[in-house]
Structure 1
Amino acid sequence: MFYFITSRQDMLTSAIELAQVRRLKIFDYLKQPAKIVTLEYNHAHYEVEKKLSITGRVINLFQYFQQLPYQKVGNDQVIIDKILHQPGFTVQDFVAKRDGKERIKVVLNGNRLYYVDYLDRFGFTDRRDFYDQGCLSYTEFFEDRARVVTRQYYDGQGRVKLVYHYRGGENNIAVLTLIQLNNQGSTHQFDNEMALHAYFLDRLIGETAHPVLINDRSDTDFAAFKLMKGHVPCYQVFHSTYTVDGQPDSKLFEVYEPLEKMLQEGQISGLISATKREARDAAQRFKTSASYGIPVTYLTDKQLNKQIPFSKRRPGQLIAVARLTNVKRLDHIINTVILLHAKYPQVDLKIYGFDDSWDNYATSNSLKRLVKTRQAGEYVHFCGYQHDLTKVYETAQIEVLTSSYEGFAMALLEAQGHGCPVVSYDINYGPAEIINDQVSGRLLPAGDPHALYVTLEELLTNPAKLEYYASHAQAAAAKFSFTNVTQQWANFLNSEGIRE
């Protein structure tokens, strides 16, 4: 059994989790049993799995231990009524009062019960019960500064399975200090979540014949592999670069600092990169021969053979598909479009991607401030995350990528698969393997906004060249057909001797 490991799956599904779903289809075709493993709690698991068509293909750490009898359909009004209607309480909407004071408050997510707050006589929240698909799942207990003291998770009989203990930390932020797991008549203690993850993975591989772990989220569980007692084939996937700036010999991301030693000691069996170039660089950097370049996605034959008339494309329509984060350097394309629009009023830019919160939305706010200050709001648009960009790719004239670095640049491949010409900085990693330069698009010197301006002006004023690029885009993308990518996975399984 192959386990693809990640943190969680959200309704705004990231590229990493989408890559796992596509990999499931490849392994199904190869008749290799595979499941996705998630390690964080996710209230939206039912909706996400349904959206991604992977119901029954996911093993979650909490669900594994809790075994709750989920009620997947219907609403929770009967449960809500039972919670609110207590002796001595008056009920109005979703609040129960005693002596005129709010003591119980019910919060919904859609028509489903999400959580219930229990307040003391002074109005402080003492306890919060969280529900999941009609089941009481876990409870948080608070102290007088509203910090979490304890979180306890229940099984289907209401017994406590997991307990997270917290103590007060700096800036009034609670610090996790101990985890207790009651499992099969024994109580296990862990100092942190990585230790719990290691125990869970050991349990999982102990129940499976020929288990193989493929880890897709290094920040969530990479350290857990050092703590595992069991030793099975385990592969680390680089969805992005392994260094802080994308240069192969630069400073490693901290999480990868022990990787070379883990490879030497057999805790990690090999590396999988999204491009051949990164696979070569990783092999040299981490001193391993087990370094493979396998694309993280593929295009179907139906998509590659689809006829998309160039006449459908809106003159001057540029798109960028990227989350609003500093590494994407979206200010380069925004400033370039502002200059272009002064000469060519038909130029319009639409940016598709969610606001990245890692820097407290500083980059997102800065970009939006730039557009407002330059009075460019009528032709530079922040369109947010969209699950299906088919129409966007098929009506745009050019897709632009200005990142500092990428792991693969999936948006470039998707654009070419829809016949959309692409212009990209030639960065590590992805664009040079996706774009056929001067045939399906253009590769520019990395970080050169002047070259970006000159190239876009040239193409916007030369529709015949753009049409030529569009006519060759799908042929360039055919390197990443389902058949070709599946063969690369088959080669990997055979080379490592792990095919069932």
Structure 2
Amino acid sequence: MSGLVAYRKFLLGQVKEIGDPVNREPSQLDSSIEETNFWFLNQDIGFQRSGVENAALLRSRLFIQELHKAPILVTCRFNPRLNESIEGLRVAGTLTKSQLCRSIYDYLQDAEALPVALNTGRSIEQNPLWAVTHVEGRRDLRVMDLAGHLLMYVVRNPTTDAILYINHFCDGLKICKEIFDSRGHLSCIQYLNDKGLPTIEHYLRPNGTLALVKIYRAHNGKMVLQNIRLCGERGELRASFSSEEALITHAIASMLKQTEGKHVLVVDKNRYWYKPAIAARDLIHQQTPNRVVVVPVIHALHTQTAQDLHVSPVNSNFKDILANVQQPDAIVTLTTNQKTDIESRFGQGRLFPIGHPYQSDRSASSFDQRDRFRIVCMARYSPEKNHQLAIAAFAKLAERYPLARLDFYGFPLSPNKLVTALNAQVQALGLEQRIRLNGWVDDPAVHYRSAGLSLLTSQAEAFSLTIMESLCHACPPVAFDVPYGPSQLIQHSRTGLLVPFGDVDALADAIESIFADPAYQAKLSAQAFLDSNRFKYAEVAAHWRGLLSSFGVGEVSSVQTSLE
């Protein structure tokens, strides 16, 4: 009980707020890497992963291979299919079979380390009280009572027939949604208002008892989270939280306390995790000093625009970090230039420029095996990626280079107003057979290895996994010269080309300079591959060792953890 009381006092403001301008020295863990737990904190790890999630997975492999330590991946979004996603990553070899991947919801719902039990809804189909029909073209079930009233619509996985969720109806109105975990058990029940929005959510343990309750209230036409209640297995109230942030803080603090050793929290998704990580560190420090350090990673431009970086409003994802750069034990930027800009505006902190790692297990394909007129662009369909500029530049070359093709890959593919607009642009240009808007791909390397060049038209990139992966597979990149990644990753005219942001004519000219000279293109390809050695795990690991040594974590390991 004393720990819970201390935690409640902490939430009520008995310690300083995160934004207080207090200078502090980093905690000194004084432990070996082998004795230290590394936690990579993300929002989710889904089937279609963001660049931030992919970066965390790459770093995870680096830690295993070079530091001989498997980090713990932790997510904070309720995802009933997380286990399915993680198992897919294990099968693909992206994660080791033994690596821990935890969710705060699995933790709070006592649903960690459960076996998979396929639940296809057979009992529903066999119930003599229901009239069940299979939905044409889908694996779903429509369930009526014997009088013909709709009771349930059962949505099932199109591959395994496992129940994903069940919508319940009364008098034609959807009143409830039951969400099933991919391991087979009922995980969450949403009780809905007449507009189909949740008023109360019950999160259940695998044994059916209530673990969490979320209560919502109507505000300006939206349902706003009002309260979260944590329940014991007998239904008793254990704790009450006013926000998701407080719930995350409670969960990570509890997980840390129950795990022996010292802890390094690497915060990838700062909007959701930074304040809870700092709060958990400070709470534990009150009881056991020098046990936890927090290291946020700046994965994007730290301002809202790339213009006037010294006065532009701060990116909301990083406002809490930049409000006091002395608060975290260290901060990772992805480039040296961003580190310099942050320090010049927000003051000196413990900033470490460490880029992403990448290491291909394949050699570069022969240049004559490439389709040198094929351009690939890997970027989610989002306005800041400026796909329309890539299309406009390609259109200027299409007539002169009839073999040229432009393939986009990303998510979400639909429903998406941007994708609709891009398709309309392609159709208006009459280039439907030359430009394709494709969905997410698990293995972009396949496309980099066969294409003649890659294209990136973003308005800002803190690093750019796209450019790094393109270089590593000898696919010369052409990109706008925006802060910060492109100019740090691309050696202009040697490994790829840089053009001024927004200049479609210059972008078209850059592409044509490559198409028009196959010898030059082959030279760019070869030099891109040679230059990619700087992204290898061993190179990047040296920078992580330097960061860890700043708070007393050293390498004393005799046993290598294998990549299973």
- Give the TM-score normalised by the residue count of structure 1: 0.91
Partner SS for 1:59? strand
1:82 to 123, 135, 151: 123
TM-superposed deviation, 1:183: 4.5
Partner SS for 2:392? helix
1:2 to 29, 38, 41: 38
2:229 to 161, 172, 180: 180
Cα RMSD, aligned residues only: 2.3
Identity over aligned pairs, percent:
24
Q: Residue 418 of structure 2 aligns to which amino acid in structure 1?
A: T
2: CA distance between counterparts of 1:117 and 1:441?
A: 52
Aligned to 2:402: 345
2:371 to 303, 314, 332: 314
Aligned to 1:115: 165
1:230 partnered with 2:284: yes
2: CA distance between counterparts of 1:315 and 1:33?
A: 40
TM-superposed deviation, 1:230: 3.4
The one-character-per-residue Cα deviations of 1:399-449 (angstroms, maximum 9, x if unpaired) are 122211012111111111111112222211111221122211122223322
Aligned to 1:493: 548
TM-superposed deviation, 1:148: 1.4
Partner SS for 2:449? helix
**425-434 vs 441-450, which moves further:** 441-450
Q: Do 1:131 and 1:138's aligned partners in 2 also have CA atoms closer than 8 Å?
A: yes
2: CA distance between counterparts of 1:245 and 1:444?
A: 18
1:416 partnered with 2:459: no
Aligned to 2:189: 139
1:100 partnered with 2:100: no
2: CA distance between counterparts of 1:225 and 1:409?
A: 26
Q: Residue 155 of structure 1 aligns to which amino acid in structure 2?
A: R
1: CA distance between counterparts of 2:466 and 2:364?
A: 20
Aligned to 2:268: 216
Aligned length: 489
Q: Do 1:315 and 1:346's aligned partners in 2 also have CA atoms closer than 8 Å?
A: no
The 1:341–1:118 alpha-carbon spacing in structure 2 relative to 1, beyond 3 Å, is: closer
- Give the TM-score normalised by the residue count of structure 2: 0.81
The one-character-per-residue Cα deviations of 1:220-278 (angstroms, maximum 9, x if unpaired) are 233434654335311111111111123532221134333244434x3x22211122222
Q: Do 2:358 and 2:472's aligned partners in 1 also have CA atoms closer than 8 Å?
A: no
Partner SS for 1:199? helix
Partner SS for 1:48? helix
The 1:20–1:183 alpha-carbon spacing in structure 2 relative to 1, beyond 3 Å, is: farther
**1:5-84 pair list within 5 angstroms:** 5-29=41-65, 30-53=67-90, 54=95, 56-68=99-111, 72-73=115-116, 75-77=118-120, 80-83=121-124
2:325 to 232, 252, 263: 263
1:482 partnered with 2:544: no
2:348 to 278, 288, 299: 288
The one-character-per-residue Cα deviations of 1:121-178 (angstroms, maximum 9, x if unpaired) are x23233322221211111111233333111001113321110001122333x322111
TM-superposed deviation, 1:309: 1.3
The 1:144–1:471 alpha-carbon spacing in structure 2 relative to 1, beyond 3 Å, is: closer
The 1:328–1:106 alpha-carbon spacing in structure 2 relative to 1, beyond 3 Å, is: closer
1:328 partnered with 2:385: yes
Partner SS for 1:490? helix
Partner SS for 2:177? strand
Q: Residue 161 of structure 1 aligns to which amino acid in structure 2?
A: A
The 1:460–1:170 alpha-carbon spacing in structure 2 relative to 1, beyond 3 Å, is: same
1: CA distance between counterparts of 2:245 and 2:177?
A: 25
TM-superposed deviation, 1:295: 1.4
1:299 partnered with 2:359: yes
The one-character-per-residue Cα deviations of 1:265-322 (angstroms, maximum 9, x if unpaired) are x3x222111222222222333323311111123224x44xx14211112242222111
2: CA distance between counterparts of 1:33 and 1:329?
A: 37
1: CA distance between counterparts of 2:113 and 2:40?
A: 24
Aligned to 1:192: 243
1: CA distance between counterparts of 2:440 and 2:129?
A: 48
Partner SS for 1:346? coil
Q: Do 2:278 and 2:294's aligned partners in 1 also have CA atoms closer than 8 Å?
A: no
Aligned to 1:241: 301
Q: Residue 317 of structure 1 aligns to which amino acid in structure 2?
A: R
1:252 to 304, 314, 317: 314
Unaligned runs of 5+ in 2: 1-36, 135-140, 286-291, 556-564
2: CA distance between counterparts of 1:399 and 1:262?
A: 38
1:206 partnered with 2:257: yes
Q: Do 1:97 and 1:104's aligned partners in 2 also have CA atoms closer than 8 Å?
A: no
1:129 partnered with 2:181: no
2: CA distance between counterparts of 1:413 and 1:393?
A: 11
Q: Do 1:165 and 1:179's aligned partners in 2 also have CA atoms closer than 8 Å?
A: yes
The 1:374–1:160 alpha-carbon spacing in structure 2 relative to 1, beyond 3 Å, is: same
The one-character-per-residue Cα deviations of 1:448-492 (angstroms, maximum 9, x if unpaired) are 222212222222111111111112111111111121011111121
TM-superposed deviation, 1:44: 1.9
The one-character-per-residue Cα deviations of 1:375-421 (angstroms, maximum 9, x if unpaired) are 11121111221111233212211112221101211111111111111
**1:395-414 pair list within 5 angstroms:** 395-414=450-469
The 1:299–1:89 alpha-carbon spacing in structure 2 relative to 1, beyond 3 Å, is: closer
Partner SS for 1:233? strand
Partner SS for 1:343? coil
2: CA distance between counterparts of 1:147 and 1:441?
A: 49
Partner SS for 1:258? helix
